[in-house]
Each structure stands twice: as C-alpha cells, then as structure tokens.
Structure 1
C-alpha cells in the first residue's frame, strides 16, 4: 500500500514537471516571417518604393523595425517602419525606401513585436536588376524561432533526469 502511495506521488510530481511543456507549445507560437514584397531572395527589375513584410501573427503598433542596407552596408530605407493600418489582422509591416536605388543586392533586417509579447528577428536579401547585374547568392529568410527549441530540449532533459533520480530513490526505499 505504501509503495502504491509513493508511485502516485511520483506520477503527480512528474505531471507537474510536464506542465511547462504543455504551455510551452502554446508560447512557442511567434509572429514568424510569412512573405514579403519584394520576395526573399527575389529579383525585381525596378527599385521598389517600399518593403512590405507579412507575419504569421498580430503585431503591436510599436517596437517593430525594418532596416534595409545596400551591399556596402549603407542604410537605404527612410527609417519609417509602420504597422500597415489597412491590414485588419495587424500582421503587416512597411518601410519606405530612398528613391533611385541602383541595381544591386539589398539586405532586409527586421525585428517585430508580437502582440503576445514576444519579438522575432530575421533577414533576407533581394536584388534589383535591370538584367545587367548577376543575382546574389541566396540568404535564407530567418527568424529567431530556432533558439526556443534548444531551451525546450534542455528543460526536457532536466525533467527526465529528475524523474530518473526520483524513480531510483523510490526503488532503493522499496
């Protein structure tokens, strides 16, 4: 009877330890990059007037940035990143570009402020080419979503280690 009681306590403890994993799956849903205009790794034949990025979840109106640089690292956007007021889902950011951008490769670095309180960062490239400049090597569109999986793995490993130690202790006492 005492052993059954201890097993129930261990199951209850392990259930409590697993609760963060259940809520973590909900917390890992961030406002990730979905699409952009110009498209990531795309080529346009004329300089765009602005960069538009769509994300997977609602964003806060403040705390978002899009920074666009040329191949030499010079900023070519106007620093006016805004949440698109015409998007009823509040998932779209816009930044204006300086007029008269020349052919070349441009890098877009972004940081968003999700309505859930989490922020993501990422980057991608696009090329302006009237047909005379070779396209750049692709730079994958990235977001900061990879890091939470490492934390989840470390937490899971720790929970398993605690469970193993508790089981070993119970087995010794039996």
Structure 2
C-alpha cells in the first residue's frame, strides 16, 4: 500500500497565499483599530465648580469641569438652566492648556435658587460623553429630589464591534489552520472553507463599522 505525501507540506499556491495575506490584513486591522493605550478609555469627570449637588453663597463667576484626560476642543458644550428651565447667558466654552479643563463664564448675576448644568464633551478616542449636575445659590436654598448623571455615547457600539472583529479574526485564523490540517489527511472538498469565509466576512463588516464610528467621533 502506497501512502501519498502530497498533502503533508504546506501548499504555497496562489490560493494559500491569498488566505495568508487575508489573515495578515485582519491582524493589521485589529492592531490599528484597537488601541490598547490608557488614553483609549473615555474621559471621566473628576471635579466641577460649582460642586455637584453643592451650594454657593453668591452667583458663580464661571462654570468649570475637570476631566481625567484631554477632550476635543471645539466639540464641547455647556449650558446652565434655572429650576424653571430658563437659560443662563454664558461666554464661549474654553478648554485649558492641556484640554482637560472645560469652562465658561457666567455673564449675568444669578438669583438664589437651584440650577442645572448640562454638558457634552468628546474624548480623544471618539467617545461622546453627556451629563448634568445641579447646584444651588444661597444659604437657604435646597436641592429638589432627583439628580444628574453621566452617559457615554458610542462606547457600547465601539466595544461590541471590537469584540466581533476579534471573533471574526479568530474564525478566519481558525479556518486557515483547520484548512491546513485537513489538507494533510482529507481531500480538498472536505476543507473547512466556510469558517474561513464566515470569519473574514464578520471581521470585514466589523472593521468597516468600527472605522466609521471612530472616524465620525474624531471628525
């Protein structure tokens, strides 16, 4: 009985080279679109002036927010409203030297009462954060029930796309290895090409979606 060794060695034909190139492209896309530096995390609000749920004796000269990392200048907004919903006149929104401080001057004298600050910033990784907090003016003023909060927009979608990109890359790489292993002992018709195609398709769609989100957040 004669045993053929035709499938023992790695096939280096054009089809195999295209698959290897596909795997390398997926690896590069993963490395390029998934930064692992600490700066990729969304910005976190550290301090505010006036303080969150705090009280000040007189009308504050400005509203200031301090974040744990720089935000994108020109894509920030601040607004102050009274308990009745009336808007307060503010100066231009400015950022500090390191872009981690966002501030706007109050252009009018505010009477005693409760006020709500609404803000929106965009982190360097493209995630958009919105939030609000309250403060009161006057020693006799008290806050009404309820509070503010912070919401991260885009982070969930980007996170899901990153995981599906990883899953697609894993399927493509697994199909690539499985194809090589199958070629050693089985005819070509039994090669696990569907897994390779599925993984490549999932990774491609995820990479495109992730690129659109990241580019949109940075534009």
- The residue correspondences of 1:1-174 to structure 2 (distance < 5 A) are 1-2=9-10, 14=23, 16-23=25-32, 24-26=35-37, 29=40, 32-38=43-49, 41-46=52-57, 47-59=59-71, 61-84=73-96, 88-97=97-106, 98-112=108-122, 114=124, 118=126, 120-128=128-136, 130-144=139-153, 146-147=155-156, 148-174=158-184
> What RMSD in Å do the two structures reach over aligned CA positions?
3.8
Gaps of 5+ in 2: 1-8, 185-219
**C-alpha deviation, 1:90, in angstroms:** 3.2
Q: Which has the larger radius of gyration?
A: 2
Aligned mates of 1:106, 1:72 — CA distance in 2: 10
From the two aligned structures, give the one with the greater helix fraction.
2
- The size of the alignment, in residue pairs, is 169
Gaps of 5+ in 1: none
Structure with bigger RCO (C-alpha 8 Å, 6+ apart): 1
Change (3 A) 1:167 1:40: farther
Cα displacement string for residues 38-60 of structure 1 (whole angstroms, at most 9, x for unaligned residues): 36643223342211112333445
